[in-house]
A and B are shown apart, each in its own frame.
Chain A
Amino acid sequence: MSGSTEFDRLATKPVSRTRETLQALVANRLAVAGLIVLSLLVIVGIFGEVIAPYGINDIDIPNRLTRPSGSHWFGTDELGRDVMSRVLIAARVSLQVGFIAVGFALVVGVPIGLVSGYYRGTIDSVLMRMMDVLFSFPAILLAIAILAVLGPGVGNAMIAIGLVYTPIFARITRGSVLVVSGEVYIRAARSLGAGDRRIIFRHILPNVLAPIIVQTTLSLAFAILSEAALSFLGLGVQPPNPAWGRMLAEGRNFFEQAPWMGIFPGLAILVTVMSFNFVGDGLRDALDPKQKSVIESRGQSV
């Protein structure tokens, strides 16, 4: 009987949570597509120089503003530089900013959320009011303000974006910690002699990971978008290094003669951000179908 074998399989073979999640993720076609695109993107990010047909600053004035062709698939810009090479090589800085900024937000935000949610009281009020202050500014405006203080540049852009996304992680973590720390198993762990640190990191953290993982993926998309916006405004990556946002800004001036200068970096941003979103949504469905992300409501103000 097929029903009983299915039952036996479930009963005898424990399916780990990680595998269960991966299986659910693989079943989601958009998420798989996103994963494939992201993998390619990472490869491009690492081996950009090898893949790119030209150097990023190979100026070729006679061939300036040429339309896409066999020798320049994405065309050339106002200095005759190959747009495709610049788009490919700019992938690295976009991913770097995304990962490092979100990493920063994770490393700062999650512990704040853990401490706030676990200890409550005064420390919770103080930390959360600080987060509220950060959260109350529109994301991009706050990043611009931070860069105005720190000065423009890639490194500072990472810090600025990281700071902007910190309160999201703090809040999401705190919310889940509030729920989990009221559970009986936390009291049981304490009754067995576990201390605060052990309870927070060994018992609470693994239980609140799911929303944090989802938020990380979605935040990557928004961090890359923010980096593009900052570079567009000239606050992120500085010339002559290529960045998608910068190229978009430069392409604006030649939009009538050479639309490809703006279209291809724009497409790169679109594809990257969408891929992260698909993966993030897929993860959310796989990990916790009920959860709704904070960033969705916030996305509108970005």
Chain B
Amino acid sequence: MTEPILEVNDLRVRFGTKRGVAEVVNGISYDLHPGETLAIVGESGSGKSVSVLALMGLLAQPPASVLGSARYRGEELLGMPAKDLRSIRGKRLAMIFQDPMTSLNPVRTVGYQLIEPMALHLNLKGGPARERGLELLELVGIPSPDARFSDYPHQLSGGMRQRVMIAMALACDPDVLIADEATTALDVTTQAQITDLVAELQQRIGMAVIWITHDLGVVASIADRVHVMYGGRFMEQAAVDDLYATPHHPYTEGLLGSLPMPGPDRPERLMTIPGLPPDPVTMPSGCSFAPRCTYADTDRCLQAVPPMELLGNLHSTACFYPLAVAR
């Protein structure tokens, strides 16, 4: 196997709040290999966005405190001097955000914002920068890029803006693209277009993608591997097909059960998971999912955090009573 380009080890993020310390990310570890797509799936508040913002150095500290390690090609990102981090952000690690309506500066033209990362990292200005900008707009499928170049963000639709964001992120040929709920704010047809676009560009450019979403449907179409996140921890990690075929963690089972599926043998009602996600200030001492889990027992699940265990071909889960596993 190739060297991972991104190694995250025991990443922890805490926020000081008035009510106490909120433990939002509680020790997650993963490797990202060149060219692969890793999906991090979880519901709102599971810490998935915070975990990537932390490794990009985009969380204000304080109130956040970030512990653990995140290495890009062996270089530690956490605690890296601001100047060095800036030279990696946008050039090696790029990010696109959830809401294309607010992630472009309203008083700058599309062209200005598109050229900015090139000016910052590639020292590309004037004519050549404009040329590359137009190329990028073409690449992300924006019609008549020449005309759009001098447009302001409010003149574009949400899908177009997200394409512009992607063009900006790709301006310096990054190794890793982090898409933080990049399609959540878009309507379904546009969602599909954007995910297809990213998948296609990934093949062309050969970058790795971390795709953060709460939508398992989106994941199925693009990811190689999936990490299911809950309460700031990974519950299960597997290749995408394995995960859908044989979920080992009760939470994953719940998530999959709540997806509407076509077909004759579909259940009468969609499954729901009772209860609410844990409050990060008062995290349960055991498995963070135990209070909502139908399989949980009072001794082990509520007492100790189950370790991540490898159960099959690159398929591991953090559960004392994994499902569909012969014991």
Query: Which residues in A have some Cβ–Cβ distance to B below 8 Å?
Result: 11-12, 14, 17, 183-195, 198, 202-203, 206-207
Closest to B153 in A: A185
Which 7 residue pairs across A and B have the least CB separation, nearest first?
A193-B90, A192-B90, A191-B95, A184-B102, A184-B103, A192-B117, A193-B89
A191-B58, A193-B90, A206-B108 known, 13 other contacts, Cβ within 8 Å: A14-B150, A17-B152, A184-B98, A185-B102, A185-B105, A186-B105, A191-B56, A191-B89, A192-B94, A192-B116, A195-B83, A207-B105, A207-B107
User: In the bound complex, how far is the Cα of B210 from the Cα of A254, in angstroms?
Assistant: 83
B13 at the interface (CB under 8 A from A): no
- Residues of chain B lying within 8 A (CB to CB) of residue A185: 102-106
User: In the bound complex, how far is the Cα of B130 from the Cα of A267, in angstroms?
Assistant: 55
Closest to B168 in A: A192
Known: A187-B58, A203-B108, A207-B105. Is A193-B121 also a contact (CB below 8 A)?
A: yes
Q: Contact at B169–A192, with CB atoms within 8 Å?
A: yes
B97 at the interface (CB under 8 A from A): yes
B99 at the interface (CB under 8 A from A): yes
Q: Contact at B86–A193, with CB atoms within 8 Å?
A: yes
Q: Contact at A203–B58, with CB atoms within 8 Å?
A: no
Q: Contact at A188–B89, with CB atoms within 8 Å?
A: no
- Residues of chain B lying within 8 A (CB to CB) of residue A198: 120
B256 at the interface (CB under 8 A from A): no
B87 at the interface (CB under 8 A from A): yes
- A-contact bits for B151-195, CB 8 A (1 contact / 0 none): 110010000000001001101000000000000000000000000
Closest to A17 in B: B107
- Residues of chain B lying within 8 A (CB to CB) of residue A188: 95, 97, 103-104, 165, 168
Q: Contact at B105–A194, with CB atoms within 8 Å?
A: no
- Residues of chain B lying within 8 A (CB to CB) of residue A11: 155
Q: Contact at B116–A194, with CB atoms within 8 Å?
A: yes
The smallest C-beta distance from B104 to any residue of chain A, in angstroms, reads 6
The smallest C-beta distance from A198 to any residue of chain B, in angstroms, reads 8
- Residues of chain A lying within 8 A (CB to CB) of residue B83: 195
The smallest C-beta distance from B178 to any residue of chain A, in angstroms, reads 8
- Residues of chain A lying within 8 A (CB to CB) of residue B150: 14
- Residues of chain B lying within 8 A (CB to CB) of residue A189: 105, 116
Known: A14-B155, A187-B58, A207-B105. Is A192-B89 also a contact (CB below 8 A)?
A: yes
B225 at the interface (CB under 8 A from A): no
Q: Contact at A193–B87, with CB atoms within 8 Å?
A: yes
Closest to B96 in A: A188
Q: Contact at B121–A206, with CB atoms within 8 Å?
A: no
Could you jot down 29 A-B contacts, CB within 8 Å? A11-B155, A17-B107, A17-B152, A184-B97, A184-B99, A184-B103, A185-B106, A186-B105, A187-B58, A187-B97, A188-B97, A188-B165, A188-B168, A189-B105, A191-B56, A191-B94, A192-B90, A192-B117, A192-B169, A193-B87, A194-B86, A194-B90, A194-B116, A198-B120, A202-B108, A206-B105, A206-B107, A206-B108, A207-B106
B91 at the interface (CB under 8 A from A): yes
Closest to B59 in A: A187
User: In the bound complex, how far is the Cα of B152 from the Cα of A183, in angstroms?
Assistant: 17
Q: Contact at A183–B102, with CB atoms within 8 Å?
A: yes
Known: A14-B151, A203-B108, A206-B108. Is A190-B103 also a contact (CB below 8 A)?
A: no
- Residues of chain B lying within 8 A (CB to CB) of residue A187: 58, 97, 103
The smallest C-beta distance from B185 to any residue of chain A, in angstroms, reads 11
- Residues of chain A lying within 8 A (CB to CB) of residue B102: 183-185
Q: Contact at B90–A191, with CB atoms within 8 Å?
A: yes
Closest to B91 in A: A193
The smallest C-beta distance from B77 to any residue of chain A, in angstroms, reads 13
